[in-house]
Chain A
Amino acid sequence: AQSVAQPEDQVNVAEGNPLTVKCTYSVSGNPYLFWYVQYPNRGLQFLLKYITGDNLVKGSYGFEAEFNKSQTSFHLKKPSALVSDSALYFCAVRALPGRRALTFGSGTRLQVQP
């Protein structure tokens, strides 16, 4: 079975400061890893993914994530937070080979204070 853990329900950061949203995973086989963002009353929007290659992946809106195989982590980062980044963030995983459905974490709410 595969699983994702997002240990923080909420992360608070001041605008302009760097942010990190944590994610660890468990999967049999090679992982495909994803980050999605959800704004209030909206669907999930894809931010970035890791499939293979460089451990640092860059995505939309200045976000990036670092894949660490030994720590089974895929933390989301941004060098300088914006108030508009405030949203709910989900980490997700699937195994390769394996079913294409994603397994999601419980989500982390990011609050960026002006």
Chain B
Amino acid sequence: TQLLEQSPQFLSIQEGENLTVYCNSSSVFSSLQWYRQEPGEGPVLLVTVVTGGEVKKLKRLTFQFGDARKDSSLHITAAQPGDTGLYLCAGVNNAGNMLTFGGGTRLMVKP
């Protein structure tokens, strides 16, 4: 069974602070995705990382994929209250049609 562990589970910070969320896998997935979910909504894709060592930036969000393609991180610079939500990493299976979710990180950014 492929498992994804996310840390921390919960993070409460002040506006303007930086933070990093980690996602570690027990095995290699074909790719790894990060989703963000707001209350009352379904998760929405932020990014997909495929290549070991890959770095992707989405405004103040920086996503890294480890060289061995078993770990990933999400770094948010100068967090804003609008970043508040549940962040989920998910591994895509080899068939490319199914996800395994990590435990999630609940982020609260206080003004």
**Interaction A to B:** no
Q: A-contacting residues of B (Cβ < 8 Å)?
A: none
Q: Which residues of A contact B (CB under 8 A)?
A: none
